[in-house]
Amino acid sequence: MSTTKIWLSSPHMGGNELKYVHEAFATNWVAPLGPNVTGFETDLESYLGQNSFVGALSSGTAALHLALILLDVKRDDEVICQSMTFSASANPIVYQGAKPIFIDSESETWNMCPIALEEAIQDRISKGKKPKAIIAVHLYGMPFKVDEIRKIANTYQIPIVEDSAESLGSTYKGQKCGTFGDISILSFNGNKIITTSGGGAIVCKSVEQKNKAVFLSTQARDNAPHYQHSEIGYNYRMSNICAGIGRGQMEILTNHVNLRRDMHDFYVNLFANQDGITVFSEPNTDYYSNHWLSCIVVNPDKANGLTREKLRLQLESENIESRPLWKPMHLQPVFADCPYYGGTVAERLFQNGLCLPSGSNLSDDDRNRIESVIKTAL
Ligand SMILES: *Cc1c(COP(=O)(O)O)cnc(C)c1O
């Protein structure tokens, strides 16, 4: 194949990343601490506002794991989790020896269904165990129904872990995603809205909680000249090199969110007169998505028999990456034995949904190629 590959979402540097990385080398701060780590945390804290205390970590998964530890999730506890998400939202529950309880999505934001959530909480309590935490996700950058989920969490006094891995730059009622959880997490993996090549962050509500997270992420060393430990620690801190990339990326975050939103508009226009294809969009103006990935749902009955899979294969044959939506966790072999509450919203989205190339670095030429394949398929 002679054409270059068009990716779903690839790293997009702004320009100053190398400057910060060079600084790290010049001062020999090539370690999991240093001025870039502090600088990146400060950048994130001032961006998020709302009294956020940020700890930079090696991954979003590590941040979720530490969030559950801070919320005292232990062996045989139950933790509620959105079913339609990336497996990293749920895996840390199992790291703790706890049991995931999966919840269906609602069809407006594709995120945790408040009705199924309340049903699950009541049923788990009636079976003798109150869930320890609720892991809610802003999928593809679309904020979940924050008010509804928060109200239920408060009623039953269960903390929310806000998985904001895909939603840095999104807002709900004007407030930034990453500030709604009792603890929130971010990811800077290579395919996310900004990247540190690999990395994540925990967003805490107090400096004490942040310090505890950082303590655990650096092997839980007690204050002593020798290595002294009273708790089990982890090696989860972000390096000063990665944080340098993050500082450069924070300078262009807003710009890249706008470019991703332009990609979403491009697909809205492309499919505007096409029956049977819906572009995933905000339900109303309370929601502002970073449109990390642009997604569509195909209804073959109305789209002249075109299916999600046919479209995916046609794009693939032209060296254009696209991918089915997240396969819900309750349908994954590894979680087959876990309780599930809700209907078939997530399952149907998985059957008919497709993520399309969404990067902030796609050129006019790339868009033309995508458009011509899609037009041919239609
Ligand atoms: C990417 C992602 C994570 C995990 O982040 P990593 O930095 O890759 O460990 C968690 N949850 C969701 C929803 C994600 O998309």
Q: Give the C-alpha distances (Å, rounded to integers) separating 87 from 84, 117, 142, 348.
A: 9, 19, 18, 18
Which atom of ligand 1 sits closest to the CA of residue 191? 1
- The CA-based dihedral angle spanning residues 227, 229, 235, 239, taken in that order and rounded to the nearest 10 degrees: -50
Which atom of ligand 1 sits closest to the CA of residue 199? 7
Nearest CA among 352, 369, 337 for reference residue 302: 352
Contact between residue 211 and residue 205 where contact means Cβ atoms under 8 Å apart: no
Task: Provide the residue type at 203 as one letter.
Answer: V
pLDDT of residue 300: 87
Which atom of ligand 1 sits closest to the CA of residue 62? 9
Cβ–ligand 1 distance for 61 under 6 Å, the answer: yes
- The CA-based dihedral angle spanning residues 141, 142, 147, 148, taken in that order and rounded to the nearest 10 degrees: -120
CA of 139 to the centre of ligand 1 (A): 11
Mutate to test the pocket of ligand 1, among 91, 166, 183, 188 (most ligand atoms within 8 A of CB): 166
Task: Provide the residue type at 315 as one letter.
Answer: L
pLDDT of residue 189: 96
Identify the H or E element spanning 106: none
Instruction: State how far the Cα of 302 lies from the Cα of 103, in Å rounded to an integer.
Output: 29
Cβ–ligand 1 distance for 239 under 6 Å, the answer: no
Local structure of 227: helix, strand or coil: coil
Instruction: State how far the Cα of 164 lies from the Cα of 178, in Å rounded to an integer.
Output: 5
CA of 275 to the centre of ligand 1 (A): 33
CA of 16 to the centre of ligand 1 (A): 25
CA of 163 to the centre of ligand 1 (A): 8
> pLDDT (tens digit, 0 to 9) for every residue of the chain, 378 residues total?
568 999 999 999 988 999 999 998 888 888 777 899 999 999 999 999 989 999 999 999 999 999 999 999 999 999 999 999 999 999 999 999 999 999 999 999 999 999 999 999 999 999 999 999 999 999 999 999 999 999 999 999 999 999 999 999 999 999 999 999 999 999 999 999 999 999 999 999 999 999 999 999 999 999 999 999 999 999 999 999 999 999 999 999 999 999 999 999 999 999 998 899 999 999 999 999 999 999 999 998 998 889 999 999 999 999 999 999 999 999 999 999 999 999 999 999 999 999 999 999 999 999 999 999 999 988
pLDDT of residue 305: 87
Task: Provide the residue type at 75 as one letter.
Answer: R
Cβ–ligand 1 distance for 86 under 6 Å, the answer: yes
Instruction: State how far the Cα of 72 lies from the Cα of 62, in Å rounded to an integer.
Output: 15
Cβ–ligand 1 distance for 89 under 6 Å, the answer: yes
CA of 227 to the centre of ligand 1 (A): 32
CA of 86 to the centre of ligand 1 (A): 7
Instruction: State how far the Cα of 287 lies from the Cα of 141, in Å rounded to an integer.
Output: 10
CA of 76 to the centre of ligand 1 (A): 24
Tally of CA atoms within 13 A in the half-sphere of 219 that contains its CB: 6
Instruction: State how far the Cα of 368 lies from the Cα of 374, in Å rounded to an integer.
Output: 10
Cβ–ligand 1 distance for 240 under 6 Å, the answer: no
Cβ–ligand 1 distance for 88 under 6 Å, the answer: yes
Instruction: State how far the Cα of 260 lies from the Cα of 290, in Å rounded to an integer.
Output: 7
Cβ–ligand 1 distance for 202 under 6 Å, the answer: no
pLDDT of residue 16: 93
The pair phi, psi for residue 97, each rounded to 5°, is 75, 15
Instruction: State how far the Cα of 55 lies from the Cα of 184, in Å rounded to an integer.
Output: 11
